[in-house]
Structure 1
Amino acid sequence: MSDDDDDDDQDESETNFFDVNFDGSNFMGFGPLMPTESERTLMERVRQELKQELKIGYKEKIVDIREEIQRKRRAGKLPGDTTSTLKEWWQSHSKWPYPTEDDKARLVRETGLPLKQINNWFINQRKRNWHSNPSSSTTLKSNRKRMKCR
């Protein structure tokens, strides 16, 4: 290639660079200009660098979010031996499944759960299962309400 050819290439690239409308097409009516191989390489390198910077900048936040998701997955699942202890008490007191303060203190010691969690377990257990027990007061109350409505 001669120097004249190089000048033509340079003139052509300058023309293309400056003759671009805001929509990406050039003034001659042709479609958008395609980036050169070196421009694509540069764009890819910049993209990779930005990606890496974002990973570094947000790494701590990403780790926190992952840990929170894992905690939430584990939430609600008590160990099997803990639930079996609570269920044993539930079975033996199925007619009136309201543990006394002494019962709760004993269950706290046996299970290692906080009192609030023991209370919540019994609340949830009664909501889920006690209504199915025909001798429960909840069922009796709802039967009385139905009888009054008739």
Structure 2
Amino acid sequence: MSDDEDELQMDFSLDQSVSDGHGLMGLGPLLFTESERSLMERMRQELKIELKQGFKSRIEDVREEILRKRRAGKLPGDTTSVLKNWWQQHSKWPYPTEEDKAKLVEKTGLQLKQINNWFINQRKRNWHSNSQSLKSKRKR
């Protein structure tokens, strides 16, 4: 059960025990006045707010981490256009030399590992499949 479901279940249990005149855990009837119920509700709301505030920074950290991971897979458009230009100019053999990679690192601001990974992924997605389709066309 989620925390919200647990909370609703607990609220329902408390409301039931109060409304049917039976106490919790067989302790006998618990009858609350309207002001006591109101006080308990205010205390419950205050506790809920305190807990949320206490965990607020941790919740924000987790939220930021999720967003960072979501963004991590995308390179900026201007960066990819530089890489795609190189790719198009060298489409027959898209394996950049170390010198080419150094220039691309300088132009794009990416790390060498990112450049290497981009070319690996690009070849897997585009070049190998294109060369396979060319081979199959030649066999026909």
Give TM-score, length-normalised by structure 1: 0.66
- Is residue 2:49 matched to residue 1:59? no
Paired with 1:132 and 1:97, the residues of 2 have a C-alpha distance of 13
CA shift, 1:39, in A, is 2.7
2:90 to 64, 83, 93: 93
Q: Which moved more, 1:104-113 or 1:75-84?
A: 75-84
**Equivalent residue runs for 1:108-119 within 5 Å:** 108-119=105-116
CA shift, 1:51, in A, is 1.2
Tell me which residue corresponds to 1:10.
none
Counterpart residue type for residue 25 of structure 2: F
Counterpart residue type for residue 61 of structure 1: R
- Unpaired runs of 5+ residues, structure 2, are 1-20
**Equivalent residue runs for 1:37-48 within 5 Å:** 37-48=34-45
CA shift, 1:58, in A, is 0.7
Cα RMSD (Å): 2.9
Tell me which residue corresponds to 1:84.
81
Counterpart residue type for residue 132 of structure 1: S
CA shift, 1:57, in A, is 1.3
Residues 54-84 of structure 1, C-alpha deviation per residue, up to 9 Å, x if partnerless? 1221111011012112212211111111000
**Equivalent residue runs for 1:6-85 within 5 Å:** 20=23, 22=25, 35-85=32-82
Counterpart residue type for residue 73 of structure 1: R
SS at match of 1:133: helix
Paired with 1:105 and 1:93, the residues of 2 have a C-alpha distance of 16
Q: Alignment identity in percent?
A: 70
- Unpaired runs of 5+ residues, structure 1, are 1-16, 27-32
> Which segments of structure 1 move beyond 3 Å, counting only runs of 4 or more?
19-26, 33-36
Tell me which residue corresponds to 2:124.
127
Larger helix fraction of residues: 2
Give TM-score, length-normalised by structure 2: 0.70
Tell which structure's C-alpha radius of gyration is larger: 1
